[in-house]
Every structure is written in C-alpha cells, then in structure tokens.
Amino acid sequence: MSWASDKARELTFENYTHERRRLVERAILEAIEACAFAAAHEHLENPVIGDLCDAAYDRAVSDCVAAIRKLGEP
C-alpha cells in the first residue's frame, strides 16, 4: 500500500470518529435537556418528586460529561 492510500484511510477513520463523537454528544445533550424539562415539570406537580428529579438530573449530567470525555480517549 502506498503512503497516500494509508493516509486516505486514516483521514476517513478520523472523520468517522469525529462524526460519531458529534452524534453521541448531541444525543447526550438532548437527553440532559429532556431531564431538565422533566425536573422542572415535576416541581410544579410535586416538589418532593421534583427534588428527586433534580438529584437524578445532577447525576446524569456528571455521567454524561464523563462519557463525552471518554469519547476523546484512545
């Protein structure tokens, strides 16, 4: 294989990895947004449940941030 074809394959893989990361990040951020909406809604209906939703939201954000960071690791 020539250097050029090796380089082309490498760039294609990097582009794929970048696109995959972007899609995963978007899905994670949409999930966080949905959790925030649910927590806000529950506060209106039942403050105790709303507090539980807030705690779950905080944990979800932490987990999602960790997942996004792991996407960048080899």
Q: How confident is the model over 12-29, as pLDDT tens digits?
A: 666 767 777 777 778 777
Would the pTM count as exceeding 0.85? no
Mean pLDDT of the chain: 73
Q: How confident is the model over 48-60, as pLDDT tens digits?
A: 877 777 777 777 7
CA distance 16 to 49: 41
Give the other-Cβ count within 10 Å of 39's Cβ. Answer: 20
On whether the CB atoms of residues 32 and 60 are closer than 8 A, the answer is yes
CA distance 25 to 28: 5
On whether the CB atoms of residues 72 and 29 are closer than 8 A, the answer is no
Q: Could you tell me what percent of the chain has a pLDDT over 70? A: 70
CA distance 31 to 10: 32
The ranges assigned to domains in the chain are 3-71
